[in-house]
Amino acid sequence: PPTMPPTRPEEATGDTPDRPGWARLATSPDHKDISRILVSAAFGSAFLAGLLLVLVRLQLAVPENTFLSAVQFDRLLSVYGATAIFLFALPLCMGLLYYVTPLQIGSRGTALPRLGQTGMWLFVLGGFALYSTFLFTPPEAGINPLPPLSQHAFTPNNGVDAWIASTGLMTLGLLLLAIDLLVTVRNLRAPGMAWRRAPIFVWTAAIVGWLFVVIAPVFLAALTMLMIDRQLDGGFFTGGVGGSPLLWQHLSYLFFTGAYMTVAITMLGGISEIIQTSTRRELPGRRAIIGSLVALAIIGTLAWTQNMITAPIPSGWKYYAMLMSISLIVPFGLIFYNLISTVSSSDFHMRAPLRFAMGALSLASVGLAVEVSQS
């Protein structure tokens, strides 16, 4: 059946008069409050990521620059990567989906509010753990700590361990939020809202949720193996003892490529909703757009080896990555064509939301053209 009635009464989340606002927000299981924390953390992290990026670019501005030492540069670059991916891009997408989706399906809340609240606090704890490393030893093995550099023999301090713990907590928290989102979309849709009638952004939430459920456990397993290698000499990523450093690249880049597609799918789903609402016209290629979003999640994630250009892997893997990357032209083209044709054939006033949506679509088209040309 398309819908299932909730098996328990909805939880009351009204304000308590004798509690300050911050305490209510911190302990509320309501999806809107959790989303506010996620989105606020994402925008605050965007400022921090921008600051770190400026410092890194200042060091690279001129040759032989002494603005930062080599160790300082490595530490800032490592924290910047985790901030941009785990503290900005992913929570921003998950926060927007977590806020809007229950409202679009006619639900008063999510199916598993305590699970979502637990996921939010795991994410917050991971963010604090990452930046608390500046009090002792920040990570310094790069944006993606590749073995053998990240092995204990080459990086004996605790920076990589802190990176593993913090990114693991944030990934686990976002995974719990994705599970809650999937269960909500599956079980709490309003009566009569079959999948064929669900808004595109609800489809976007389902696609992103399933994608994250697939890629997050892979990355958590890779983090666990890397920690075992560092602390217990496990040998998962150590060559010569049955392991392989390339295994970490395959596992981690599968996650990072899926995370990139998560951002792209959320962006395109949001733009589709904005264009449909602003033009007051249903998208003529609705099924094509939904199918293209599903194709992006599958084909885009399968192109993870495009990040392993310099890795000593067989040429077949590189041809495979090139084929997957070029294949993305079809779903991206279908989405762009449907959105642009909807705007061009409609009579409407160009208001701010539509201006931003069209600007984002134009910018994305330029970036994707460059991405495909490099494949």
pLDDT exceeds cutoff 50 at 9: no
Alpha carbon of residue 11 to chain centroid: 29
pLDDT exceeds cutoff 80 at 269: yes
55 and 98 Cβ atoms separated by less than 8 Å: no
Could you identify the residue written with the tokens 């944030």? 170
pLDDT exceeds cutoff 60 at 63: yes
Measured between alpha carbons, how far is 198 from 190 in angstroms, rounded to an integer?
10
- Residue 58: band (very low, low, confident or very high) from pLDDT cuts 50, 70, 90: very high
Helix%, strand%, coil% for the chain, nearest 5: 70, 0, 30
Average pLDDT of span 141-148: 91
Q: What are phi and psi of 64, to 5 degrees?
A: 55, 35
Measured between alpha carbons, how far is 265 from 286 in angstroms, rounded to an integer?
15
- Tens of pLDDT, residue by residue over 321-343, are 889 988 988 999 999 999 988 88
- Tens of pLDDT, residue by residue over 160-208, are 999 999 999 999 999 999 999 999 999 999 998 999 889 999 999 999 9
* pLDDT (0 to 100) of residue 345: 80
Cα 318–Cα 215–Cα 237 angle in degrees, nearest 5: 65
- Tens of pLDDT, residue by residue over 85-129, are 999 999 999 999 999 999 999 998 999 999 999 999 999 999 999
